[in-house]
């Protein structure tokens, strides 16, 4: 036998045995992982995974609007935007403004093309009271937007007098106890018809007859207001009987 066959070949790298050993160790480790009893579930079937269908291209950003179609970009309403996620699903629509109930705020909140509909127009002229009691202002929106308010100042109030005006601005003319009324006065008519009291009528103090003409009674008065006293007069009993017959 040639003794050279037992000698190591000087051209053979000494690292070969080490490489072979590492390969064996890696193989054993890989086999251990495959046979690891900690993973005891069934193998995954890609066809059994239910994923939602793709809605968009990832990283895409587009405008969006969830209100009625005819309200977008009308009044206060405007479109927002949404972005496409890595799993091809649209995100929520953000920064959009959709219709809400109309309030008094100078805006078209319900996006119907009319600003502050069902409210008085802010800045328009308004009035409080009538006649001499009328004051002027403008319509203003309440702070909470629930209504429009007239900012006209309260009407001036004066004691009521007999002048055909609503001096105290309570909505009524020449009402209440007026100065100069209720006093005895002379109507300048004959007999008992001359008796009267002062009353406010037509914006003026007038003497209004307080006693009407009646059956002439023998009492020293001109009861029937004909300018004669006790002419063809009756007794009190006779006068009462005659009134009963007449239905008085």
Q: Which residue has the higher pLDDT, 112 or 38?
A: 112
What is the pTM for the complete model shown? 0.48
Q: Which residue has the higher pLDDT, 61 or 247?
A: 61
- Whether 92 has a pLDDT exceeding 50, the answer reads yes
User: Residue 92 phi/psi, 5° resolution?
Assistant: -65, 150
Contact 78, 97 (CB under 8 A): yes
Q: Where are the domains of the chain?
A: 53-117, 119-156, 157-212, 214-248
**Cβ contacts of 14 within 8 Å, gap of 6 or more:** none
pLDDT of residue 26: 44
* Closest of 180, 182, 184 to residue 195, by C-alpha: 184
Per-residue pLDDT tens for 22-81? 444 444 444 444 444 454 556 656 566 677 899 999 999 999 999 999 999 999 999 999
pLDDT over 90 percentage in the chain: 68
170-174, long-range: CB within 8 Å, 24+ apart, which pairs?
171/130, 173/203, 174/200, 174/203
Q: Which residues pair with 196 in a beta bridge?
A: 185, 209
């Amino acid at each position: 036998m040639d003794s050279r066959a037992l000698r190591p070949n000087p051209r053979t790298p000494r690292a070969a045995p080490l490489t072979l050993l590492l390969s064996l160790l890696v193989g054993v480790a890989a086999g251990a992982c495959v046979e690891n009893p900690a993973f005891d579930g069934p193998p995954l079937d890609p066809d059994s995974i239910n994923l939602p269908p793709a809605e968009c291209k990832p990283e895409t950003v587009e405008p969006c609007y969830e209100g009625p179609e005819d309200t977008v970009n009308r009044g206060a309403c405007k479109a927002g935007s949404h972005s496409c996620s890595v799993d091809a699903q649209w995100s929520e629509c953000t920064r959009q403004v959709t219709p809400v109930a109309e309030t008094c705020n100078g805006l078209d909140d319900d996006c119907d093309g009319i600003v502050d509909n069902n409210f008085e127009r802010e800045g328009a002229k308004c009035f409080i009271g009538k006649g001499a009691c009328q004051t002027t202002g403008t319509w203003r929106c309440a702070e909470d937007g629930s209504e429009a308010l007239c900012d006209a100042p309260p009407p001036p109030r004066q004691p009521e007098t007999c002048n055909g005006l609503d001096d105290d601005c309570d909505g009524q003319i020449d009402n209440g106890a007026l100065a100069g009324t209720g006093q005895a006065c002379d109507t300048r008519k004959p007999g008992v018809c001359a008796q009267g009291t002062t009353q406010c009528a037509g914006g003026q103090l007038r003497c209004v007859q307080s006693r009407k003409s009646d059956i002439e009674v023998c009492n020293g008065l001109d009861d029937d207001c004909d300018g004669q006293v006790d002419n063809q007069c009756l007794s009190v009993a006779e006068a009462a009987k005659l009134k009963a017959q007449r239905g008085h």
